[in-house]
Structures are given as C-alpha cells and as structure tokens.
C-alpha cells in the first residue's frame, strides 16, 4: 500500500494506492528502465543564455508582436514547442516586456533597452 498525503493548492489530498506484488514488480521495472539524464541530454547554461538573448533580440527588433506570432517564432528559434513556450513565459515576466490585451491574443511589446 502506498499513501500520499498533502495539498494541491488549498485542497487537501489523501490518496491510498493498493498494489499487489505484480504491480510492484511492473513499477520497479518501469523505474529501472527510465532514462537518467546524461551530460548530452542537459542543455549547457551558455546555450540556454544565448537562446534567451536571441529571444529578447527577436522581440526588441520587432518592437511588438502578438502572442501567436511570437510563440511561432520562438518555437522556430528554440527548435521545439516546449522550449518556445518556456521562452514566451520568461518574456512575459521580464521587466523589459509589456504584455497588453490584443483581443484574442496578448500583444508583447519591447519597452526597455
């Protein structure tokens, strides 16, 4: 038996899972088969910071882009959708970027240099 207690936001969670021997064996096999991060799978800090600089330059040079256009360009820059979304969130929270309502999609504007 596995018991998980805690909270999700303000909601209390108390979850009990009952596993038989076969379930534990399958779980153990899955954990052993899970890939462990290696040096080749992790992104070097330098590359990450270069990507962040390029994302800022993209918006700075454009001046203003709607969220969908910006996300599309960031995904192309980063090479995948997940990394593009992380850059978009980072831009959203940057002091150099103003996000305003643009109807269906937010407008991202570069405000500082």
pLDDT in tens, 74-101: 999 888 899 999 999 999 999 999 999 8
Q: What is the predicted pLDDT for the residue at 34?
A: 65
Q: Can you list the residues of the chain whose pLDDT is less than 70?
A: 34-47, 113
Structural domain total, the chain: 2
Residues 78 and 27 in one domain: no
Q: What is the pLDDT of residue 71?
A: 93
Residue 84, both tokens: 């593009």
Full domain range(s) for residue 13: 2-33
Cα–Cα distance for residue pair 70/78, rounded to 1 Å: 12
Residue 39 lies in a domain: no
Per DSSP, the chain holds a count of helices (H) and strands (E) of 4, 5
The set of residues, in sequence order, having a beta carbon less than 8 Å from that of 42 and lying 6+ positions away, is none
pLDDT at 62: 92
52 and 94: one domain? yes
> Which pLDDT does position 58 carry in this prediction?
92
Residue 65's CB is within 10 A of a number of other CB atoms, namely 22
Residue 38, in any domain of the structure: no
| Residue 90 token pair | 């980072």
Same domain, yes or no, for 62 and 106?
yes
């Amino acid at each position: 038996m596995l018991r998980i207690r805690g909270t999700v936001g303000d909601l209390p969670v108390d979850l009990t899972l009952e596993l038989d021997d076969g379930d534990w064996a399958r779980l153990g096999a899955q954990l052993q088969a899970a890939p462990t991060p290696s040096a080749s799978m992790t992104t070097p800090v330098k590359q990450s910071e270069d990507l962040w600089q390029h994302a800022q330059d993209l918006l700075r040079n454009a001046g203003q882009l709607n969220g969908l256009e910006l996300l599309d360009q960031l995904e192309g820059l980063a090479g995948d959708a997940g990394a593009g979304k992380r850059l978009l969130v980072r831009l959203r929270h940057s002091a150099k970027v103003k996000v305003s309502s643009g109807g269906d999609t937010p407008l991202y504007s570069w405000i500082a240099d």
